[in-house]
Amino acid sequence: MVPRFDLSLYLVTDPEMTARRGVVATVAAAVAGGVTIVQLRDKLGSARALAEAGRALLALLRPLGVPLLVNDRLDVAHAIGADGAHVGQDDLPPSEARILLGPQAIVGLSITASHQLGTIDTSVDYVGLGPLFPTGTKADAAPALGETGFAALRRQITLPVVAIGGITVANTPRTLAAGADGVAVISAICAAADPQAAAQALRHAIRTVRR
């Protein structure tokens, strides 16, 4: 059976980092470089602006078979027919996402510490675990887990896990060695001068480890 999604190289968009090039152009280049799944994230944008960006991304990604998830905004994910949503600990619970988006939707949940493991329920398809390394991308990021802390939490999660937080080409092998099924990046691609080349470098690092 073909998996519904591939977490190998997971791109999370950032409105400021993609402002100059545009989010659609950035994602197009990143997918050409090997990104396997995309999360549209804009904590401050209006619902209308997010929906417009989401529809443009769906038009790009659907023919390529790359899923589009919407961060937090279940209303927008539902309205545009996104492939799913990713929710954090302060958002509506994944069970609500499942009810709204349906049984075929991809639902992801962020976990940053051991006391949150109990929030993983049968509605969740994968877990975003981190931050693994220190990161400056998210101002309110939790303390970095480090490789040992990440690996300890990973062993307690039966679902696929994508690591996030401070991930680069250089530390991708260590990330996968700690138990991640994939790497999620923001600045490593969105802030790169050449998003396609940045994605290709990350994809090469992933494939090298998996050989």
- Report the catalytic residues: 41, 110, 138
Of how many residues is the chain composed?
211
Nearest CA to 33 among 172, 189, 168? 189
Per the CB < 8 A criterion, the answer to whether 141 and 165 are in contact is yes
- Give the integer Cα–Cα distance in Å for 73 and 50: 9
Mode of pairing for the β-strands spanning 68-71 and 9-12: unpaired
- The type of residue at 136 is G
